Structure 1
Amino acid sequence: METIINIVGSVALLLWGIRMVRTGVTRSFGAELRRVLSLSAKNRVTGFLTGLAAAAAVQSSTATAMIVSSFAGQGLIGGVAALAIVLGADVGTTIVVQLLSFDIKWISPLFLALGVFTFLASEKARHKNLGRIALGFGLVLLALKQIVLSSAPLRETETVSLLLQPLSAEPLLAILVVALLTWFSHSSVAIVLLIATFAASQVISTQAAFVMVLGANLGGAFTAFVMTLQSPVASRRVTTGNLFMRGCGVLAALPLIPYAMPYVAMMGGDHVRAVANFHLMFNLALAVAFLPLLSLVDPLVRRLVPERPDRDDLQSPKYLDSGALESPTVALSCAARETLRMGDEVREMLQSTLQVFVTNDDTLRKEVERSDDLVDRLHEAIKLYLTSLSQQEMDAPESKRCVEILSFTTNLEHIGDIIDKNLMELAAKKIKGQTLFSTDGAREIDEFHQRIIANLDLAMSVFMSGDLNLARQLIREKSEIRHVEQRFTDNHFARIGEGRPESIASSSLHLDVLRDLKRINSHLTSVAYPILERAGELADSRLMDGKEENTDARPRPIRMQPTTK
């Protein structure tokens, strides 16, 4: 029992070490990595080499496949190029296994010390992540050493022999079991290294280890496939194609293992090196076989994963890339892009609002109300995405940006609710009662509405740029909007005092529209406050000399003119 516990603990340490290395690389170089991958789609050879380098750096073909599939889902990369990159990524992970298969475990204390001291002594996020990479690499080497030591007694344990005998006798069962373990661990590198250490300890035979390596390769492709099941069609085609090619490779390589063993032995090395070399040979053979055939594989995958407009709703989030969550900077950019899309939808709703009031178009009114459903869905998706991101370690600026995005999307969602629940309800009353605004009143509402539209555009610019001057301008506009709303309200009461029939009939509607547009503007200006606060330009209190500065609370004079009859 103690041996099993030690092995399980060592495997957990191995998985954690690999995760630390992958996390450190993606956080340090995630943006650069994604940029290189997006530019590597010129031809299949370039894509293959880029995928190889990316997976070797990240130590995960799954992570690389997720990034590429997200690009494919956004239409940034074609199917053939994406499949070439994942073929390269499959080969890239074998480089990591090759490196760790050498007897370099003795330097694990050096990497552990370097990683810890770098992480603790650094203030910059990139330096901390470099320390995390060194620490993770040290943990991987330490875990491999512990697995070798802990598994040594298993050679003479009859129970282990009984458990492994079915796997040795049934290759397909061994492939299936190892594939499931790889899917569960989300790391084919870790599973291949574990298989290699078991082979080195003679817990399993070399031939059985080769069979299990095939299972690890299949499981690695299955992991990415499962993670993109809810993604757009183009994204699923990449991971489906990868699973198809690996599945074909596994079926073709399984009966050839006995014939391949002498050639692997000719490459020299111990059992660990033999497993690593077979892993490399399999993925190289897979690349050589399929790279020229990708023009045939791509249309086949398109038939396997056809377009489904009913499932791939155009109203679903487009830019929330789950593969970017391990790189907070990139993930925040994805969330900001989706927020811009949400803002565009709110702007369209707001733009259509005036048209509904002017034309009394009930069909357009219902379309505006339905648009709020999309705004709500996008807000919920962005909120869940940022919640997942918050579980990652972020530095102070990234945490602040995360809060800013969440705050702005919440305000956009409130604006959508004001348009849907308030303004469209007022429009329905106006349509039902065939109410008309006075000529002057309609002109003032139109002018007020256009100012709110302009402030929405300004707020989106402030949100994306963080520009201090634009933030100041937005706050000045808030004060100006308050004065304009007060002036237009006074004008309306003046027209009532003059006895204008349209003003009297539309009084309640007119004032409520002005009030709701002003509320929308208040939600928009909230985006400027964090920027002004960082610049030290935000007052702690809005009270001046014991009086309230906010003129919204002041009673407004009503200038009534004598009624003429």
Structure 2
Amino acid sequence: MQNFAGDKQSEVVNSYLEKPIRVQVLDENFQPKEGVKVFFDVLSTPKKAKNAHIEPNVVLTDKEGYAISQITLGSKSGEYLFSAKIVNNSLSNNLLIFSSEARKSNWVFLLVMGLFGGLGLFLFGMEMMSDGMKKSAGDQMRTILRKLTHNRLMAMFIGTIVTMVIQSSSATTVMLVSFVQAQLMTFTQTLGIILGADIGTTITGQIVALKLTDYALLIVAVGFAFTFMGKSDKLKNIGETVLGFGLLFFGMDIMSHSMYPLRTYQPFIDLLLVLENPLLGIFVGAVFTALIQSSSAFTGIVIVLATQGLLTLEASIPMLFGSNIGTCATAFLAGIGASREAKKVAYAHILFKFVGVFIFVWFIPQLAELVRWVSPQGNEELTGMALLAEVVPRQTANAHTIFNVIMAFLFLPFINQFAKIITKFFPDVEEPKELEIVTWHIDYAIIETPTMALELAREEVSRMFKIVSRMLNATLHPFVSEEIIDDEIHTNLSLLEGIRLREQKTNYLNEKLTDYLLKISREKIQDSQAVEVFVTLSIVKDLERIGDIVFNNILPLVDKKNKTGKDFSEEGKEELASYHKKVMKQVNRCTKAFTTLDLNKARKILIKGSKYNDLEAIYRLKHFERIYEEVAESIATDEVHLELIDYFKQVNVHLENIAKSILVEINNEVEE
């Protein structure tokens, strides 16, 4: 007797199966045997199931040796087993077992709810795991992208590590766009990192392919304990990572169970078979990944399908290729409205992906064989869907990794050529920037990664230091010389016009940096980062106040002095020049202390600041001595002289405030 048709069907509870059970009875010569009694029976049903039956339960075979019976499923969802047997010792294979799956009447709703609910938990867990890893990495993440040599392998390695931490190659690319836009990196430097990022994003797939769903809730419990009972930030961050890890697997388990009815749903199985068509598989992968903006999440879904035995390796590979294309959507959006150099980064990522997929799509069978060769072999006793469920999840993760590793090493030697191709589309041109009142470094697209956002904010503050320094440096000349000179940078502007322009810039930067830093403070940041945010805000306010002193207080003194018709005495000029020089040294010390977080420089500012305050009192007394000696110039310029040196002293006080803020940040770094 042979199993001819009707096995492994599925239908909703209390309904007929679409296809009847049909068996064929053959004699010892494998010829159809007519008139043989075939007994059909219900072998097992889910617990408390009613009304499951098979009719007719006794059938005589026809001329072709066929016996046909119709199954009605019972009232409970689950697996039903039916038998077909003959009582004839002369015939072999007298018993056949048929299995059928009964689905709940609302199974589609439950599937959709489980799939999207599980996907939500999966993505939430992945985000939480990423946040925990980023916090654990701390400020090392902040400078790792900038401490690059021109060694391509090192750049690729750094890209891999960074993306392993933030769990998204798209996010890495967005960061690179921001860094290039902020002039912290060159376009060519980013190419090796992009290739490494593509490798790093496959780690999520490798994690998902681990068969840990049975332990998901245990992992959640451990992560919860660390997160809410840990006394140090380090333990809490580790707990957050573990908790996210567990939620990721719990979401995956929910998706897996919700998809179980699809194992026997023939229309869905037929659809998945169609996906072995490379172009269709690539299209589905690209569209779905672009919608959820995470190739890691889509890879997880593909692996979940594979755990149910619903996918072959040849069907999963094109979808993985599609996910690599779909992830370019984020990079494309990041490039819109960005600078020319930043656009190059975004489109380099897109070019790498498209070229890689175009090359590999012709070698899917060869890639599949390579993946099978390097992947663990399944249980030899398993067949069909059970075998696919055993081996394809790991093979899918390995295929994703192997594709990106080969692509990275294939493209790495040709980075310069790729750079030239991209540059042809976006040729380098002179972009006048100095006269524009804009931010150069801060990028709101990167705020969700506070560590990197703070680095960009620091770069913008460093630029603000330079602007204030140039303003202050220009203030002395109008008081000690009648020569009208141009601005040191903008030769089309006068010295005083240059000061006015920079005052507008400092006000603008104060407004933008304040908004940017406050937005960072609303993100999930560590206590040490919160301290840094408010320390940086304090420094910005002091710099803006120095700009105000120069523009609102010192600059009007030029006209006031000119109205006297007198110049300062030679001694007075020397004292003002000396004090101005010392204040400029303080500005330079502050700039270096801020950029390098140099403890000694910050302390030196406070020591020198105290001395300079005393020096101001000495110079004030000397001025009074000249008044007493009736020096005409000193008498005529008395008010201007005293106000000017007092404003220089006020600048010095604000620089001391900045030094104190820097010391708070340095101590915060040490405590962390």
Which of the five TM-score ranges fits, normalised by the shorter chain? Answer: 0.7 to 0.9
User: Following TM superposition, by how much is the alpha carbon of 1:469 offset from its aligned partner in structure 2, in angstroms?
Assistant: 4.5
Please give the alpha-carbon distance, in whole angstroms, between the structure 1 residues aligned to 2:472 and 2:148: 41
- Percentage of matched positions with identical amino acids: 25
1:438 to 562, 568, 585: 568
Alignment of 1:50-61 (within 5 A): 50-61=158-169
Does residue 1:419 correspond to 2:550, yes or no?
A: yes
Normalising by the residue count of structure 2, what TM-score does the alignment of the two structures yield?
0.66
Q: Per-residue CA shift, 1:178-205, capped at 9, x if unaligned?
A: 5465355443211211233245457788
Aligned-residue CA RMSD (Å): 4.3
Select the structure that is richer in strand. Answer: 2
* Closer/same/farther in 2, CA of residues 523 and 366 from structure 1, 3 Å limit: same
User: Following TM superposition, by how much is the alpha carbon of 1:54 offset from its aligned partner in structure 2, in angstroms?
Assistant: 4.3
Q: What is the count of residue pairs matched by the alignment?
A: 530
Cross-structure match for 1:44:
152
Please give the alpha-carbon distance, in whole angstroms, between the structure 1 residues aligned to 2:351 and 2:433: 22
Relative contact order higher in (CA < 8 Å, ≥ 6 apart)? 1
User: Larger deviation: 354-363 or 343-352?
Assistant: 354-363
Alignment of 1:160-179 (within 5 A): 175=282, 178-179=285-286
1:120 to 228, 232, 235: 228
User: Following TM superposition, by how much is the alpha carbon of 1:345 offset from its aligned partner in structure 2, in angstroms?
Assistant: 2.3
CA contact (8 A) 2:626 2:634 kept: no
CA contact (8 A) 2:506 2:544 kept: yes
Cross-structure match for 1:238:
345
Cross-structure match for 1:298:
419
Cross-structure match for 2:474:
352
2:195 to 70, 87, 90: 87
2:580 counterpart letter in structure 1:
H
CA contact (8 A) 2:620 2:642 kept: no
Segments of structure 2 that go 5 or more residues without pairing to the other structure are 1-108, 378-389, 486-493, 667-672
Q: Per-residue CA shift, 1:327-377, capped at 9, x if unaligned?
A: 656654554444233223212211111013323426111122222333344
Select the structure that is richer in helix. Answer: 1
CA contact (8 A) 2:183 2:441 kept: no
1:7 to 115, 131, 156: 115
Q: Per-residue CA shift, 1:498-555, capped at 9, x if unaligned?
A: 4837743x455445434433443343333355689999xxxxxxxxxxxxxxxxxxxx
Please give the alpha-carbon distance, in whole angstroms, between the structure 2 residues aligned to 1:137 and 1:208: 27
User: Larger deviation: 244-253 or 28-37?
Assistant: 28-37
Segments of structure 1 that go 5 or more residues without pairing to the other structure are 536-565
* Closer/same/farther in 2, CA of residues 238 and 303 from structure 1, 3 Å limit: same
Cross-structure match for 2:131:
23
* Closer/same/farther in 2, CA of residues 150 and 444 from structure 1, 3 Å limit: same
Cross-structure match for 1:542:
none
Cross-structure match for 1:195:
302
1:500 to 620, 627, 632: 632
Please give the alpha-carbon distance, in whole angstroms, between the structure 1 residues aligned to 2:186 and 2:472: 36
User: Larger deviation: 113-122 or 475-484?
Assistant: 475-484
User: Larger deviation: 403-412 or 118-127?
Assistant: 118-127
Does residue 1:248 correspond to 2:355, yes or no?
A: yes
Normalising by the residue count of structure 1, what TM-score does the alignment of the two structures yield?
0.77
1:383 to 514, 518, 521: 514
* Closer/same/farther in 2, CA of residues 263 and 435 from structure 1, 3 Å limit: same
Please give the alpha-carbon distance, in whole angstroms, between the structure 1 residues aligned to 2:565 and 2:299: 75
User: Larger deviation: 60-69 or 399-408?
Assistant: 60-69
| Partner-residue secondary structure (3-state), 2:356 | helix
Cross-structure match for 1:473:
607
CA contact (8 A) 1:27 1:328 kept: no
Q: Per-residue CA shift, 1:295-335, capped at 9, x if unaligned?
A: 32121122223224327669765665779866656654554
Q: Per-residue CA shift, 1:78-118, capped at 9, x if unaligned?
A: 65553233223212322331232132212223322222222
1:111 counterpart letter in structure 2:
I
Please give the alpha-carbon distance, in whole angstroms, between the structure 2 residues aligned to 1:462 and 1:48: 32
1:227 to 334, 350, 356: 334
User: Following TM superposition, by how much is the alpha carbon of 1:74 offset from its aligned partner in structure 2, in angstroms?
Assistant: 7.1
Does residue 1:286 correspond to 2:407, yes or no?
A: yes
Please give the alpha-carbon distance, in whole angstroms, between the structure 1 residues aligned to 2:208 and 2:405: 18
Larger Rg: 2
Please give the alpha-carbon distance, in whole angstroms, between the structure 1 residues aligned to 2:419 and 2:179: 16
CA contact (8 A) 2:609 2:653 kept: no
